Amino acid sequence: MLIYLQLIETDDDKSKFEQIYDAYRGLMFHVAFKILSQKEDAEDAVHHAFVKIAENITKISDPVCPKTKAFVVTIVENRAIDILRSRNRHQEVSFDAIAYGIPVYTEDEDQLSELILKLPAKQRQVIWLKYYHGYSLREIASMLNMSLAAAIKTDQRARKNLEALYEKGDKSL
């Protein structure tokens, strides 16, 4: 709670925040968990909600009232929905399998999948993360500990190698 209190300037507002924290933290977790079904994600949603409450503490007149309760629940619901949308946009995948160059097999063994598996590990990782899981090159660069320029170049090389493999009729690199 000390982190949140550092965001608040006056002692009256800090006292108000403490009352809100004590009164609604359990409810907030319950609401977030009901939406997300994962403890860690629910905790993240509650944390972000408390940061938002601390930033807007001056807008709250009475810390324990139905209006404040609705405000708090709305904030945590919105954050939980944002997390849920983010989770659905980027499918969860075992990052260890991708990051360390272990071949990743798709459900249907089509020609493109076979060609992707023939790429060098780093190119295969970038292709898999970008085109299958929908991550941006900026996110991929961060995940793979490389610069954005390197991620862009790796993506270009991977696509060029895929094209070359396709034109050669499925011969290895």
Mean pLDDT of 68-87: 89
pLDDT bracket for residue 28 (50, 70, 90): very high
Task: Answer for the pair 32, 45: CB distance below 8 angstroms, yes or no.
Answer: yes
The dihedrals phi and psi of 117, each to the nearest 5 degrees, come to -65, -15
Residue 18 CB contacts under 8 Å (≥ 6 apart), including other chains: 1, 5
CB contact at 8 A, 162 and 172: no
Report residue 173's pLDDT band, with 50, 70 and 90 as the boundaries: very low
Span 122-133, average pLDDT: 86
Q: Look up tokens 């209006």; give the residue.
A: 67
* CATH classification for the domain delimited by 95-167, as one of 3.30.56.10, 1.10.1200.10, 1.10.10.10, 3.40.50.970: 1.10.10.10
- The alpha-helical segments, DSSP class H, found in the chain are 2-5, 11-36, 39-55, 66-89, 95-99, 111-117, 121-127, 137-143, 148-167
Instruction: Provide the pLDDT for residue 139.
Output: 87
Contacts of 129 (CB under 8 A, 6+ apart): 98, 135, 139, 140, 143, 144
pTM equals 0.52
Map out the domains of the chain as residue ranges.
2-89, 95-167
> What is the mean pLDDT of the segment spanning 85-109?
56
What average pLDDT does this structure show over 36-60?
Answer: 89
pLDDT of residue 102: 46
CATH fold for domain 2-89: Rna Polymerase Sigma Factor; Chain: A (1.10.1740)
